[in-house]
Amino acid sequence: MLYTQLIYGTMIITAVVIFHVASLVFLARLLKRWHDNYSLFDNVKVAAVGLGTSVFFIIGINTIEASFWAYIYLLLGEFQTINDALYFSISTATTVGYGDVVMSEQWRLLSSLEAMGWWLLFGPSTVFFNGINALCL
């Protein structure tokens, strides 16, 4: 079972990271287009809209990714409702880990891999947002 969790976790992390990076590339191209057409970062109000859009988009990306992990947990039979699975996934992703909703011993290593995978995702989002912020200064 150990190897199954490692293989599943690696596959899921890889898929989620590819989705995450592709989404950030899409957002960068969108912001570039806005900048080229509307001088996005030349006006404080318009720059705020660009930053706000970036934050909203990145939160959306993270929500989709947490939902994907939650769906996997449902498929594995670890949770009965999407609410519990999503709650667990988000608390794992943020490494809050309240402990009020837990996985069975059979699959708990997978949740550790989810937390590890999220560390890979928060880095590019932070770098991206800091880059956008630097353009606005």
Determine the 3-state secondary structure of 133 from DSSP. helix
Q: What is the pLDDT of residues 10-34, one digit of tens each?
A: 999 999 999 999 999 999 888 888 7
Q: Report the distance separating Cα 42 and Cα 137, nearest Å.
A: 9
Angle formed by the axes of helices 44-75 and 82-93, to 10°?
120
Q: Please say whether the beta carbons of 54 and 132 come within 8 A.
A: yes
Query: Which of residues 17 and 96 earns the better pLDDT score?
Result: 17
Which pLDDT belongs to residue 60? 95
Q: Please say whether the beta carbons of 89 and 81 come within 8 A.
A: no
pLDDT > 90? residue 2? no
Which domains, from first to last, does the chain contain?
A: 2-136 (1.10.287)
> DSSP per residue over 89-124, as a string?
HHHHHTT---SSS---TTTHHHHHHHHHHHHHHHHH
Q: Report the distance separating Cα 84 and Cα 86, nearest Å.
A: 6
Q: Report the distance separating Cα 64 and Cα 60, nearest Å.
A: 6
Q: 40 falls in which pLDDT band (50, 70, 90)?
A: low
Average pLDDT, the chain: 86
Query: Which of residues 129 and 10 earns the better pLDDT score?
Result: 10
Q: pTM for the full model?
A: 0.85
